[in-house]
Amino acid sequence: MKRSGNFKKAVAIKPDFHVSAGKLAYIYCMKEDYPEAENWLNKAISIAPSPGTKAVWYWVKAFVEYWCGKPTAAYTSLDQSYKLAMTQDNVYTMAGVDWFSALMDLDLDKYDSGKEHYIKAFRNIFKNSTSPRNDTVAYFIFAGTFNIGKGQMDSALWCLDNMKRLIREIEEPAYSRQGTGTTASNKKCFYQKWSMTA
């Protein structure tokens, strides 16, 4: 494949160019050659220039590992990703780790730990959010999913009703023109409401 050859040349010319190693991992995933993809992800991790960059590649590696039916390895990679992200206070990567952990937990019927991971993810995201309504909609979608998984249909319907209400507010053109757009006070208000539902 021509693209893989180009990326291999880039790595040969600049051995510490982690992006090319990561792109090669992506190409091999598309070819369903997952062992080779993992080899290139390990290469990307080893040559990444900072803890934050290594954290991202560990996150990607976890995705590939879980896709290949290796949940234990995936959780280990996510743990490593989280630890590295913490060293640079990278809340978005930390949130991404909790978010993906929650999805794996849900897939494995581990609803309690999944919800805990998901709440942690959204607390990190929401504190830095510039779009609290959008993020709150996302929270209700996943909270409702967990409630359905646990058979708590009334709670799931409550999440669905809140999601519908917020979507209408986001899509209503007059909403922002009426001076009720995202402000510091609105953001605080939504975060308080979100914390209560968590």
Residues 16 and 52: their CA atoms lie apart, in Å, by 15
Say what the pTM is: 0.71
In a domain, 120, yes or no: no
From first to last of the 198 residues of the chain, give the pLDDT tens digit: 455 555 555 555 455 668 878 888 888 888 899 999 999 899 999 999 899 999 999 999 999 999 999 999 999 999 999 999 999 988 889 988 998 999 899 899 898 898 889 888 888 877 777 777 777 887 788 788 888 878 889 988 998 898 888 888 777 654 454 444 444 444 444 444 444 444
Mapped onto helix, strand or coil, the DSSP state of residue 149 is helix
| Encoded amino acid at 10, one letter | A
b/e for 38-61, b at 16 or more Cβ within 10 A? bebbebbbebbeebbbbbbbbbbb
For residues 79 and 95, the answer to whether their CB atoms sit within 8 Å is no
Total of domains in the chain:
3
**Same domain as 43, residue 63:** no
**Same domain as 24, residue 1:** yes
Backbone angles phi, psi at 16, to 5 degrees: -95, 15
